[in-house]
Copies of this chain bind each other. A is one copy, B any other.
Amino acid sequence: MTPVADYFAPVREDLRGLTANLKNLIGAKHPILYAAAEHLFEGKGKGLRPALVFLAARATMPGGDITPRHGRLAEITEMIHTASLVHDDVIDGAEVRRNLPTVNHHFGNRVAVLAGDFLFAQSSWYLANLDNLEVVKLLARVIADFAEGEIQQSLTAYDTGLTFADYLQKSFYKTASLMAGSMKAAGVLSDLPLSQCDRLYDFGKHFGIAFQIVDDILDFTGSTESLGKPAGSDLKQGNLTAPVLYALADHPELATHIEEGLTNPEDLALVLERVRGSGGIERSRELARSHSRLAAEALAWLPVSECKNSLLGLTEFILERMS
């Protein structure tokens, strides 16, 4: 398995600058925010979203030379992502993420709400100052989609009547919208024609959906250690994902347990086991593969470059996590 850092190689310096900028931007204001920022921007596995933006920027600019606005866009993308994680963890009452205590668990809800608001506010401010209304609209849509996704998830918790269309929509809101919107925004800042910007959007959309499906599979197949949070967390929260929806088709009797809220640990263990033993995992993998392929196909028009190869390689890489 190729380490993810290899795919990030063409933008390694960009990412290093980004981390330093984000820590300065956020940490300078407040000692507790500084601690939270260290905590937020240092963890393993950070940087996928800004890496996508930098790769798209370098793949679309003449000579691969990006503008300062591309760099700012990457920072905004990571700020929005981080803000949404911090508030998600408050909303879900999560205590651990990536094997680290969450901001709410470590510093309390008060700081977590404040830190998330500060990050959202800073991102809105930097966004407005990119001086490009189209980019403002793209990213404002993303922020609205996050909130919409949280509401959908809360509305449909433990609801076994959730359709696949609902599930894909929810995955788009919570994960793919940011990747789609920021990829397209990178294209807008590169002055690409609209049709090519739209293909970058499609890349981000399908990449994000595939990424989310893989995440949802790992909730069933991963260990608590490898996930950095308790296995089965999504199911326990009533967040029904692809593996469960497929499994429900074969084992309709699981619906009763789920609708009762899985408050009993034995019910949770039973449903987890049934889903793991069902064809739902493999069918979910196939669904992830198909979205990954659609992502790769969306880049057919893009001239060959090291950065394009990384983007294509990442569509494969995210699938390797699930095997």
Contact = CB atoms under 8 A, between A and B. Distances in A.
Contacts of A233: none
A150 B122 CA distance: 14
A122 B150 CA distance: 14
Contacts of A90: 109-110, 113
Interface in A13-54: 29-30, 32-33
A136 B125 CA distance: 9
Contacts of A147: 114, 117-118, 120-122
Contact of A144 (B124, B143, B144): B124
A220 interface: no
Most buried by B among A117, A144, A146: A117
A121 B143 contact: yes
A129 interface: yes
Nearest to A137: B128
B120 A150 contact: no
Contacts of A125: 140-141, 143-144
Interface residues of A, number: 38
A225 interface: no
A128 B134 CA distance: 9
Interface in A90-104: 90-91, 93
Contact of A118 (B114, B140, B151): B151
A141 B136 CA distance: 14
A131 interface: yes
Most buried by B among A109, A116, A140, A146: A140
Contacts of A148: 29, 118, 121
A246 B122 CA distance: 34
16 contacts: A30-B154, A33-B151, A90-B110, A91-B114, A114-B154, A117-B120, A118-B151, A120-B143, A121-B140, A121-B144, A121-B147, A124-B144, A125-B140, A128-B133, A129-B140, A133-B133
Given A118-B147, A122-B147, 13 more contacts: A30-B154, A90-B113, A91-B114, A93-B110, A114-B151, A118-B151, A120-B120, A121-B147, A124-B124, A125-B141, A125-B143, A128-B140, A128-B141
Interface of A: 29-30, 32-33, 87, 90-91, 93, 109-110, 113-114, 116-118, 120-122, 124-125, 127-129, 131, 133, 136-137, 140-141, 143-144, 146-148, 150-151, 154-155
